[in-house]
Structure 1
Amino acid sequence: MKKKLLILCCLILNLGAFAQKTDTLVIHDDESRYLTNRYFLELEDPQNKILARDVINNHNFHKLNERFPRLSYNKPITWLKFTIKNGSRQSDVPITISRSVIDEFDIYFVETTVDSNRVTHSRLRHLSAKDPENSSNMLTQSVTLVDAPLEPDSSITLFARVKSVATTVIPIQISSSDLFITRRGIENLINGAIMGMFAIMALYNLMLFIIVGDKNYLYYSFYIMFLALTQGIQLGFGNNLFSDNLKLLNNYITPLTRICFGYTLLWFAGNFLRFKQNITKPLYNVYQLLYVIYALPLLAILYGYSDLGYSLITFAIFFTCLILILLVSILYAKGFNPAKFFIMGWGFFLIAIMISICKNYGVVPYNYFTANIVVYSAITELILFSVALADQINFYRRQNTESQLAALAIAKENERLITEQNIVLENKVKDRTQELIETNENLSVTIDNLKSAQIQLVETEKMASLGLLTAGVAHEINNPINFVGANVSPLRLDLDELMELLEKFEAAANNPDKPELLDAANKFKQKVDADFLKDEIKSLLNGIEDGASRTAEIVQSLRTFSRIDEQGLTPTNINTAILNTLVILRSAIPYFIEIKPILNNLQPLNCYPGKINQALLNLINNAIQAIEAKKKYHNESITIYTHDFPDHITIEIMDTGIGMSNEVRQRIFEPFFTTKNVGEGTGLGLSIVFGIIEKHNGTIQVQSSPNIGSKFTVTLPKNLTNPVGDIT
Structure 2
Amino acid sequence: MNYRGFLVIFLMLTSFLRTYAGDAFVFTTESDGEYIGKYVFVLKDPTKKLTFVDVRHRPDLFQRSGQEVPNLGVQDVNNWIRFEIENLSTDEKLVVNLSHANIDEVIFYSLKNGDIDSTTMKLGGDMGARDYPHQFFLFEVPIKKGEKMTCFIKLRSGTQLSAPISIHSPKGLIRTLLNTDIFSAIYIGLMLSMILYNIFLYFSTREPHYYVYVNYIFWVAVAQLAVLGVIEPIFGVYNSWVSSRFLTFSGAMSGIGAIFFVKSFLHTKKNAPRLHVLLNVFLVGYLVAIGLLGLNVVIPAYKMVNVVAGGGSTIVLILAFRLSSQKYQQTKYFLYAWCVFLVSVLIYVLKDYNVLPYNFFTLRSVQIGSVFEAILLSFALGDKINIYRKEKDESQARELETSLENERLIREQNVVLEQKVEERTHELTQSNESLQTTLTHLKETQSQLVEAEKMASLGQLTAGVAHEINNPINFVSSNVAPLKRDIKMIWETLEEIEKIALNDTLSYDEKQLAIAAYKEELDIEYLKIEVDFLLKGMQDGAQRTAEIVKSLRIFSRVDEDTLKYADINEGLESTMVILNSLMQNGIEVQKDFGDLPKVECYAGKLNQVFLNMLTNAIYAINKKFESKVGGKLMIHTGILDNNTSIYVKIVDNGIGIPDDIRERIFDPFFTTKDVGEGTGLGMSIAYNTIAKHQGKILVDSTLGEGTTFTLIIPVQQNI
Quickly name the TM-score band, shorter chain normalised: 0.5 to 0.7
Contact 1:108/1:159 (CA < 8 Å) preserved in 2? yes
Contact 1:27/1:33 (CA < 8 Å) preserved in 2? no
Equivalent-residue separation in structure 2 for 1:128 and 1:664 (angstroms): 95
User: Aligned-pair distance for 1:129?
Assistant: 4.0
User: Aligned-pair distance for 1:322?
Assistant: 0.5
Which residue matches 1:441?
A: 429
1:283 and 2:275 matched: yes
Equivalent-residue separation in structure 2 for 1:98 and 1:336 (angstroms): 44
Equivalent-residue separation in structure 2 for 1:326 and 1:232 (angstroms): 28
Residue aligned with 1:127, SS: strand
**Of 176, 179, 191, which aligns to 1:183?**
176
Residue aligned with 2:167, SS: strand
Taking structure 1 as the reference length, the TM-score comes to 0.56
Matches within 5 A, 1:180-579: 180-238=173-231, 240=233, 245=238, 247-279=240-272, 281-360=273-352, 366-403=358-395, 406=398, 414=405, 418=408, 432=420, 435-442=423-430, 444=432, 450-453=468-471
Change in Cα spacing, 1:173 to 1:566, as seen in structure 2 (3 Å) is: farther
Contact 1:110/1:124 (CA < 8 Å) preserved in 2? yes
User: Aligned-pair distance for 1:307?
Assistant: 1.2
Equivalent-residue separation in structure 2 for 1:243 and 1:39 (angstroms): 36
Equivalent-residue separation in structure 2 for 1:359 and 1:232 (angstroms): 19
Equivalent-residue separation in structure 2 for 1:665 and 1:384 (angstroms): 69
Which residue matches 1:19?
A: 19
Which residue matches 1:107?
A: 108
Which one has the largest radius of gyration?
1
Which residue matches 1:70?
A: 71
Q: Amino acid of the residue matched to residue 205 of structure 1?
A: N
Count residues with an aligned counterpart.
467
Contact 1:139/1:188 (CA < 8 Å) preserved in 2? no
* Structural RMSD (CA): 4.5
User: Aligned-pair distance for 1:145?
Assistant: 1.6
User: Aligned-pair distance for 1:303?
Assistant: 0.6
Equivalent-residue separation in structure 2 for 1:300 and 1:165 (angstroms): 13
The C-alpha deviation readout for 1:76-117, integer Å capped at 9, x for no partner, is 3211111112333333212222245211222112354xxxxx
Change in Cα spacing, 1:246 to 1:438, as seen in structure 2 (3 Å) is: closer
**Of 141, 145, 163, which aligns to 1:152?**
145
Which residue matches 1:171?
A: 164
Contact 2:67/2:354 (CA < 8 Å) preserved in 1? yes
Residue aligned with 1:29, SS: coil
User: Aligned-pair distance for 1:319?
Assistant: 0.9
User: Aligned-pair distance for 1:566?
Assistant: 11
User: Aligned-pair distance for 1:41?
Assistant: 1.6
Equivalent-residue separation in structure 2 for 1:252 and 1:561 (angstroms): 105
Which residue matches 2:514?
A: none
Contact 2:348/2:366 (CA < 8 Å) preserved in 1? yes
The C-alpha deviation readout for 1:639-670, integer Å capped at 9, x for no partner, is xxxxxxxxxxxxxxxxxxxxxxx975849xxx
The C-alpha deviation readout for 1:406-433, integer Å capped at 9, x for no partner, is 5566678x49x949x96x7798578547
Q: Amino acid of the residue matched to residue 89 of structure 2?
A: S
The C-alpha deviation readout for 1:366-408, integer Å capped at 9, x for no partner, is 3333211101000110111111112112222332444455556
Q: Amino acid of the residue matched to residue 342 of structure 2?
A: L
Residue aligned with 1:337, SS: coil
Equivalent-residue separation in structure 1 for 2:159 and 2:398 (angstroms): 58
Which residue matches 2:483?
A: none
Change in Cα spacing, 1:457 to 1:65, as seen in structure 2 (3 Å) is: farther
Contact 1:77/1:162 (CA < 8 Å) preserved in 2? yes
Q: Amino acid of the residue matched to residue 293 of structure 2?
A: I
Which residue matches 1:40?
A: 40
Contact 2:93/2:143 (CA < 8 Å) preserved in 1? yes
Equivalent-residue separation in structure 2 for 1:370 and 1:187 (angstroms): 13
Taking structure 2 as the reference length, the TM-score comes to 0.57
Which residue matches 2:693?
A: none
Residue aligned with 2:81, SS: strand
Residue aligned with 2:90, SS: coil
The C-alpha deviation readout for 1:671-728, integer Å capped at 9, x for no partner, is xx9xxxxxxxxx9xxxxxxxxxxxxxxxxxxxxxxxxxxxxxxxxxxxxxxxxxxxxx
Equivalent-residue separation in structure 2 for 1:15 and 1:93 (angstroms): 30
User: Aligned-pair distance for 1:224?
Assistant: 1.7
The C-alpha deviation readout for 1:214-235, integer Å capped at 9, x for no partner, is 0111111111211111111111
Gaps of 5+ in 2: 434-462, 479-528, 537-585, 592-617, 619-628, 630-719
1:89 and 2:82 matched: no
Q: Amino acid of the residue matched to residue 363 of structure 2?
A: A
Equivalent-residue separation in structure 1 for 2:413 and 2:40 (angstroms): 99
User: Aligned-pair distance for 1:245?
Assistant: 4.6
Contact 1:110/1:123 (CA < 8 Å) preserved in 2? yes
User: Aligned-pair distance for 1:20?
Assistant: 4.4
User: Aligned-pair distance for 1:337?
Assistant: 1.4
Contact 2:82/2:151 (CA < 8 Å) preserved in 1? yes
Change in Cα spacing, 1:236 to 1:220, as seen in structure 2 (3 Å) is: same
Equivalent-residue separation in structure 2 for 1:90 and 1:367 (angstroms): 25
Contact 2:76/2:299 (CA < 8 Å) preserved in 1? no
Change in Cα spacing, 1:226 to 1:444, as seen in structure 2 (3 Å) is: farther
Which residue matches 2:62?
A: 61
Equivalent-residue separation in structure 1 for 2:96 and 2:223 (angstroms): 24
User: Aligned-pair distance for 1:441?
Assistant: 0.9
Equivalent-residue separation in structure 2 for 1:391 and 1:298 (angstroms): 34
Equivalent-residue separation in structure 1 for 2:29 and 2:192 (angstroms): 37
1:29 and 2:22 matched: no
Query: What percentage of aligned pairs have identical amino acids?
Result: 21
Gaps of 5+ in 1: 113-121, 461-559, 568-661, 668-672, 674-682, 684-728
Equivalent-residue separation in structure 2 for 1:58 and 1:443 (angstroms): 126
Equivalent-residue separation in structure 1 for 2:152 and 2:49 (angstroms): 16
The C-alpha deviation readout for 1:50-80, integer Å capped at 9, x for no partner, is 2223332223222234443333343532111
Equivalent-residue separation in structure 1 for 2:473 and 2:422 (angstroms): 32
Q: Amino acid of the residue matched to residue 51 of structure 1?
A: T
Contact 1:106/1:162 (CA < 8 Å) preserved in 2? yes
Equivalent-residue separation in structure 1 for 2:127 and 2:414 (angstroms): 94
Change in Cα spacing, 1:566 to 1:439, as seen in structure 2 (3 Å) is: closer
User: Aligned-pair distance for 1:331?
Assistant: 1.1
Contact 1:73/1:167 (CA < 8 Å) preserved in 2? yes
Contact 2:92/2:145 (CA < 8 Å) preserved in 1? yes
Contact 1:359/1:366 (CA < 8 Å) preserved in 2? yes
